[in-house]
Every structure is written in C-alpha cells, then in structure tokens.
Amino acid sequence: MHRRVRCGAVVLALCAALAPGRPAAGAEPALPAGALPLERHFDNTAVSDDSRPGEADLDGSGFSLSAQDLAAAGWAPGRVLTVQATALTWPDRRAGTPDNVRAAGQDVRVRGHGNALAFLATGTDGETVEGSGTVTYGDGSSSAYRLAVPDWRRGPLATKAVALPHVNTPEGQLTEKARLYVVTVPLAPHREVASVGLPHASGMHVFALAVRAEAAGWSGSWAAASSGLLAVGPWTDRTLRLVVHTSAGGPRVRLRFDNTFAAAPVRIGAASVAVRAVGAAARARPVAVTFAGARGVEIPAGAQAFSDPLRFEVPAGADLLVSFHLPGTVTVAPVHRLGAQRSYVSGPGDHTADGSATPYTSVLTSRPLLTGVEVGGGPGSVVVLGDSITDGTKSTTDANRRWPDVLAARLREHGAVPHYGVLNQGISGNRVVLDGYPGDGVSTVTQGVSALSRFDRDVLAQASVRTAVVFEGVNDLRSGVSAREVVAGLRELAERGRARGLRMLAATILPCGGEARCTAAVDAERLKVNSWIRDTGVFDGVLDFDGVVRDPAHPERMRAGYDSGDHLHPGDAGLAALAESVDLTLL
C-alpha cells in the first residue's frame, strides 16, 4: 500500500505524486531507451565571454551569463557545487559552447538513492516556468513530479542559489542581477533512480541534475540559519572559535559551512573540533577536520561545504569548540546574528590546533559561516523553524536556555521516545510570508528571508530530519499581514513538508499585549490564526504554546512570571514552560 500525499499550490512547486506505478510481477525494468547523460542533451548556450557576448543566447534575445562573473563567484567549469546538501556539477564547457538543455521531455540518465532530486536551472519566460516530469526507478516503477523554476532576471533573490552582477548582451553588458536556482522535488523512498524525464516547459533551462543522497547514519545535533550577509571584521589571517551546544551525541562528527547569500567565494584554511572546558579553552587538543582529504576548502558563492567524517566522540548536551582559520581577508559573510552565546576570535595566525584560550583575544556574539554539526548514528532530528522566541532573544547568554535546548534535554532523559537531535532554525525577526532580508547583497537587516523562502535549505536539506515544528507568525501580524495570509503560508509549509514525508507540527502564536505593535487588531488576527492551527487538522499535531503562557485574567498578555519584560518574548521561565509543555510522543 502506498501512502497518499496531499499536494497544494506551492511556491516553487515541490509536490510530487509519491504513489508510483509498479511493473507487473517478474517483469524486467523498462527504462527509457533514449536516456542519456544530461550533457548529451545540451542544446542551448547560456554563458559568454565578456569579450565575445554574441557567442551565447540564453533567452532567445541574445542575452547571456557572463563567464567572468561565474568565475568570480567560484562557479568554474566542471566545479562541483554543493547546494541544499546536493552535489551538482556546473557544466564543464567553455564559454560560447552548449552548456544547458531546454526542457522538452528529454530522458536523462541519473543514478542514485536519495530523498530529493535537485535541478540547477533557470527560466527565461519572464515569469516562473512550470512543468511536469517523470522519475523512473531501477525496478521499473515511476513517480511524477512538478517543477517550477523562476526567471533568470525577474525571479526572487530570496531563493536563488547565486546572483551574478551582470547580463551580457550583443550591445554590451547590463548591470542587473542574473539568477540561477536550485529547485528540489521529492522522490519515492527507498528506490534507486534510473532516469528522469524532463518537463515539457518552454523557457526552462537545466544546467545540472542530481539526486540528494540520504544522510544515512547521521543525525543533526546543532544548527544555525543564515540570517543575512553582513559586514564583518574585517578579518585577515584570523581564527574563529565558535561555541556550539550539542543536542544529540555520537561517535563521529562532520561540520557544515554555508556561503549562503554571498557573491564571492570564501576560503577556510583549516578547521578543528574539540570539547570545551571553559571559555575558549578545550578539554584536550582540538582534532583537525578535513575536506575531501584537504586541510581547507574554498566555498563558492551560494554553496556549502561538508567536512569529511571524523571519528570523534561528541557528548550529548555539551559545548563544542568549532575553530576555523580564515587565511585571506574577509569583510562580509553570511551570519546568524544572535548567538545568545559568546564565541571567540584569535589574533593573527592559524590557531585551530591550540587548546589554550590564550590566542583568542576578542569576543564574538554572532555565528558566521558555520551552520551545522552532525553526529554519527542516532534516530535523526527534529527541526524547529521559528523567530526570535526560538532563536533565544531574552534568554540568558551562555546558559543554553532557549526552548529547543530545554526540549533536547527532555528528549535525552526520556526513555520511551527516540533521542532525536534538535535543530534550532530560529531567526530573530523572521516572518512566514515576508522576506526581511531580501536575499542578496550586504545589508544590516538580519531578519532572514521568509520561512517560505528558506524552508528547503533550513528544513528539508537537514540531515535525517523526521519532524518539523513551525512556530512563527507574530512578526507577520505585527507588520500588518492578515491572518488569511499567514494561514496560507502555514498551510503551504505543511504541504511541502508532508510531501517530503516529514511529520509537521505547528505551535500557536503567543500573546504579546502591551508591546507597542501588538494592538487589539493584531491580537484579533492572532486569535484567527491560532483557531485555524488548532481546529483544521492541516498539521499532524499542535503545540498550544499560547495556552501555556497566556494570563488567564488578560489572555491577550503573557503571564507576568513568563514575560521577559518586553511583553513579546518569554524569559527563561517562559521558554522552559514552552519546552516542558511539549508532548514528546508528538515528535
């Protein structure tokens, strides 16, 4: 029996029919006879040298991507780019030669087991291009998918993989953003992909295609979402030592660094991991991690890098020191602004191997570049997608009293529920449907792109995620967004997660009466959203956080004992109450 999956109208259309047809018993797999590697289908030239722009025509009007801009972003021909945990190879073609396929139903040979199929693509119709295709598996069964790819000049910057600063034309270069996207669609579980039938979609250009492998044997233990591209340092020949608090433990570790939102590559010269003693000091000499066998790695714009698996005993519920050396000058970086934790910056030199705190002379309260710590083994992870209440605003610095930390501690102590890792993907100021940070360029805005825009990266691409908790909406309402719009966004998140096999939970929005922007009108909209969350059954379960913290005498406000004092954020006691209220069996 195949599970039925409900699909709705989804931004970037990530819904697929996961009830694939199977061949008759004993039948040989009937793979498409014309299935060829993607590059054998290339029939369009998208990239031109700046000195010869007439040699490419991506959009039918003679406009093209700049080879020099791609090189400056680190997107060199043949370069493997890891985006959304999928290894995609930028076409190994020189400028002025065919480097992509216009989707017209071609059968593409693709191999691999995984949970998603990733397309590196862009559209040229002036609006999002949509179409349906088919995945064929090694056993001869198949599943349908629907793919939507934004336009290369007008699509949202919030969801792009990379934006290039120019568009080449036969008459000269235009100073405007050219966008490339990575869009994923779900696969039928536990089957090997054999081939992919591309959609019939005029204006859809596919540059690369790959299966995102399951993170088998790994559980997420710690995470931080990039909230914007910020001016930093500047740091030249400095080592950053970030303190991270684990949820799950395990006998192996790997690290994830993201260059999200960036326009240029960043170089990590060396990196290490250690269990923290106190401050910036390690209990024992830090252990070096490698990247594809090398000490360091260059991360292209918009891409990420995973360290090699390392035998290293990661304690559950402990502080790790993740140190990485920046040998060049770094003036901007993707950053998670609110650490609620002091980390450290060294004086000059590579101090990744130093166990002493002595070289680390400055304090850092944000989290640049590092976005994940994964551990070997375990049952997988729970991801919490949230705003400042999840991020830890008003929690005690260095105390790990964010509500997901308390939840993780409860899971570790509970014998009847799997000891999931808990990944905190909260961003202060984040909203469900509105992008605070626009998704491109250096900015002082640190609200992140919307939950809808970051859902693929911050939830679906996490290691072995089993359940997602969505706890957002108050910032939308305080910004004038209607309950109807918030509900539509929450519904879409539920649909997208469930289409990928996730258990989707929602938390009700807390009261915030007394805060300047939490007017009576805002509270009325909040109550509408909460009623929808509780009563419609769109989510697999509800965490009624509103009921936990509201003042019975003044239900538009928090209880005084839970209020941090700003009437919007709970303090430590309120955050603990949220975590203690969670029925762990829902996870």
DSSP codes of every residue in 145-208: EEEEE-BTTTS-GGG-SEEES-EEETTEEE-S-EEEEEEEEE--TT-EEEEEEPPEEEEEEEEE
The position carrying tokens 């006691």 is: 573
Coil, strand or helix: which one is 584? helix
Between CA 456 and CA 159 the distance in angstroms is 9
- DSSP H or E segment with residue 104: strand 101-104
Of 3.40.50.1110, 3.30.565.10, 3.90.79.10, 3.40.50.720, which CATH number belongs to 379-587? 3.40.50.1110
Q: What is the dihedral of CA 409, 413, 418, 421, to 10 degrees?
A: 20
DSSP string, 364-388: E-SEESEEEEEEESSS-EEEEEESH
Instruction: With CA atoms as reference, report the closest residue to 381 among 223, 155, 531.
Output: 223
- DSSP H or E segment with residue 100: none
Structure tokens at 377: 């083994």
Between CA 451 and CA 166 the distance in angstroms is 28
Query: Would you write out the chain's pLDDT as a tens digit for each of its 587 residues?
Result: 333 333 333 333 333 334 334 343 334 344 566 799 999 999 999 999 999 999 999 999 999 999 999 999 999 999 999 999 999 999 999 999 999 999 999 999 999 999 999 999 999 999 999 999 999 999 999 999 999 999 999 999 999 999 999 999 999 999 999 999 999 999 999 999 999 999 999 999 999 999 999 888 999 999 999 999 999 999 999 999 999 999 999 999 999 999 999 999 999 999 999 999 999 999 999 999 999 999 999 999 999 999 999 999 999 999 999 999 999 999 999 999 999 999 999 999 999 999 999 999 999 999 999 999 999 999 999 999 999 999 999 999 999 999 999 999 999 998 888 999 999 999 999 999 999 999 999 999 999 999 999 999 999 999 999 999 999 999 999 999 999 999 999 999 999 999 999 999 999 999 999 999 999 999 999 999 999 999 999 999 999 999 999 999 999 999 999 999 999 999 999 999 999 999 999 99
Q: What are phi and psi of 505, to 5 degrees?
A: -115, 150
Structure tokens at 579: 């975590």
Single-letter amino acid, residue 71: A
Between CA 47 and CA 96 the distance in angstroms is 6
Give the pLDDT confidence score for residue 237 in this predicted structure.
98
Between CA 497 and CA 487 the distance in angstroms is 15
Instruction: Give every CB contact of residue 307 below 8 A, 6+ residues apart in sequence.
Output: 254, 255, 256, 271, 289, 290, 291
Between CA 297 and CA 236 the distance in angstroms is 16
Between CA 64 and CA 44 the distance in angstroms is 11
Q: Where are the domains of the chain?
A: 16-212, 226-370, 379-587
Q: What are phi and psi of 498, to 5 degrees?
A: -70, -30
Between CA 467 and CA 164 the distance in angstroms is 35
Give the pLDDT confidence score for residue 33 in this predicted structure.
62
Between CA 170 and CA 11 the distance in angstroms is 34
The position carrying tokens 């109550």 is: 527
Q: How far apart are the first and last CA of the chain?
A: 24
Structure tokens at 101: 């396929």
Between CA 319 and CA 339 the distance in angstroms is 13
Give the pLDDT confidence score for residue 416 in this predicted structure.
82
Instruction: With CA atoms as reference, report the closest residue to 117 among 17, 210, 38.
Output: 210
